[in-house]
Amino acid sequence: MGRFISLEGGEGVGKSTQIAALAEALRARGVDVLVTREPGGSEGAEAIRRLLLEGDAGRWGPRAEALLFAAARSDHLEKTILPALADGKWVLSDRFIDSSRAYQAGASGLADADILTLHRIGSAGRLPDRTLLLTLPEAVAAERAAARDRGGADRIGGRDAIYHARVAQAFAHHADEDPHRFRVVDASGIADHVTIRLLDALADLLP
């Protein structure tokens, strides 16, 4: 059985950059790696991703949005993640359930217990073996995200600074509550240095 690792954090902290570097570093150690992302990662979930991220701000209310994320996650787990783990692969996912807890509960105001209930219904409550939470001072993350998106942020990324501060707070809170699964990793500085910190945070799982 492989390992299931999620990368979490707000917009612009470097998840996409780091997941690629981490995959390369793990492959160099002989690990068979599958990189995937949420929302998305399977045909059905990628279709739901477009529904979630395109269109105007009011396209979905918080509850419909939470249900769509849970549905996408269910399909992603069943079609992509579980088969890869059964093949002995390490699955690295750019976001997973903790993003729903941080955005739809922490920031949008739904109850964390309800998000966990949706996860139990959709995905049998499956959690990653390790969750790497990348953290950056808010201003640095906003600067990186703005430089990348050039003002063209998606439906959720484009929400205001107060919303994103609540997201960061919720992530930090969940990491505090479950130190066994979470590792908080400083995402500032040179990308290669961040990758080394991430590998350190997986050291106990490495073959």
Ligand X SMILES: Nc1ncnc2c1ncn2[C@@H]1O[C@H](COP(=O)(O)OP(=O)(O)O)[C@@H](O)[C@H]1O
Binding-site sequence positions for ATP: 9-16
Q: Is 72 helix (H, G, I), strand (E, B) or coil?
A: helix
- The partner in contact with residue 194, picked from ligand X, ligand TYD, none with C-beta cut-offs of 5 to 8 angstroms by kind, is ligand X
Q: Select 32 or 186, whichever has its Cβ closest to ligand X.
A: 186
Helix-strand-coil split of the chain, %, nearest 5: 55, 15, 30
Amino acid at 69: F
Site for ligand TYD in 112-151 (CB under 6 A): none
For residue 190, give both structure tokens: 């040179």
Q: Is 199 helix (H, G, I), strand (E, B) or coil?
A: helix
Contact between residue 140 and residue 15 where contact means Cβ atoms under 8 Å apart: no
- Count of Cβ atoms closer than 10 Å to residue 17 Cβ: 16
Tell me if 60 contacts ligand TYD by CB under 6 A. Answer: no
Q: Select 39 or 122, whichever has its Cβ closest to ligand TYD.
A: 39
Give the shortest CB-195-to-ligand TYD separation in angstroms: 17
Amino acid at 142: A
Site for ligand TYD in 73-102 (CB under 6 A): 95, 99-100
> Could you tell me how many residues of this chain bind ligand TYD (CB under 6 A)?
16
> Which residues in this chain contact ligand TYD in the complex, by CB under 6 A?
11, 15-16, 37-39, 53, 69, 95, 99-100, 103-104, 154, 156-157
